[in-house]
Amino acid sequence: MKKSILGLTFAISLLLLSASSANAFTMGDFGARFRSGETQELREDKKATSEARRLENREENIDERRQKIGKLFDVMIKKYEAAVARLKTLISKIESRVAIIKAANPEKDVTNIESQILNAKNKLAEVPAKIDTLKADFDATLASTTSKDLFKQVMADAKAIKKDLKEVHQILVHLIGDVRGLRIGED
């Protein structure tokens, strides 16, 4: 029985070896195919399709980034506009308080406070115009294909607006302290 199993496995292995050698290619065939440029063309085709896919993905990424930056810019503009509204409200409250103090005690010297209020009003009056130009510049930046340098300029303008808002706020903080020193009923 061992002999029959051994013989059978030997016969099967011979059949498999003869079938596999018939399908095998020789080195000559491989060299001819390589020299014909067939594989080089395949490589170039794959490279071209991958390059096209990469450019397409890059364009999609640029569009997504522009949308995200646009949303962030809108949030920033809303914050600036809200800050302008809050500062205007604060200025009007300080003005009304100074008017009450002035009416109650006309001998108090409030000219310094009134000049600082006027200074804060003038600085704050410039900010909405700067915000409008910032919006226009940002829209132009998004439409541009080479927006890197333009974007830097837009961000510099946004920082300047933020600086102006901080300056107005600082003036108003000092004014509030000065107005507190002018209590009604004090000599």
Q: Which pLDDT tens digits describe the chain residue by residue (187 residues)? A: 666 776 767 677 766 666 555 455 555 555 555 556 667 777 777 787 877 777 777 777 777 888 888 899 999 999 999 999 999 999 999 999 889 888 888 888 888 889 999 999 999 999 999 999 999 888 888 777 666 777 888 889 999 999 999 999 999 999 988 887 766 555 4
Q: How large is the C-alpha radius of gyration of the chain? A: 40
List, in order, residues 6 or more apart from 178 with CB less than 8 Å away.
112, 113, 116
Look at residue 17 in the predicted model and tell me its pLDDT. Answer: 61
Look at residue 90 in the predicted model and tell me its pLDDT. Answer: 94
DSSP string of 71-113? HHHHHHHHHHHHHHHHHHHHHHHHHHHHHHHHHH-TTS--HHH
Sorted by where each begins, the domain ranges of the chain are: 74-180
pTM, entire model: 0.64
DSSP string of the chain? -HHHHHHHHHHHHHHHHHHHHHHPPPHHHHHHHHHTTHHHHHHHHHHHHHHHHHHHHHHHHHHHHHHHHHHHHHHHHHHHHHHHHHHHHHHHHHHHHHHHHHHH-TTS--HHHHHHHHHHHHHHHHHHHHHHHHHHHHHHHHH-SS-HHHHHHHHHHHHHHHHHHHHHHHHHHHHHHHHHTS-TT--
Look at residue 66 in the predicted model and tell me its pLDDT. Answer: 80
Look at residue 56 in the predicted model and tell me its pLDDT. Answer: 75
Q: Which of 129, 160, 155 is nearest to 141 (CA)?
A: 155
Look at residue 158 in the predicted model and tell me its pLDDT. Answer: 92
CA distance 184 to 93: 16
160 conformational bin, left if phi > 0, alpha if psi -120 to 50, beta if neither: alpha
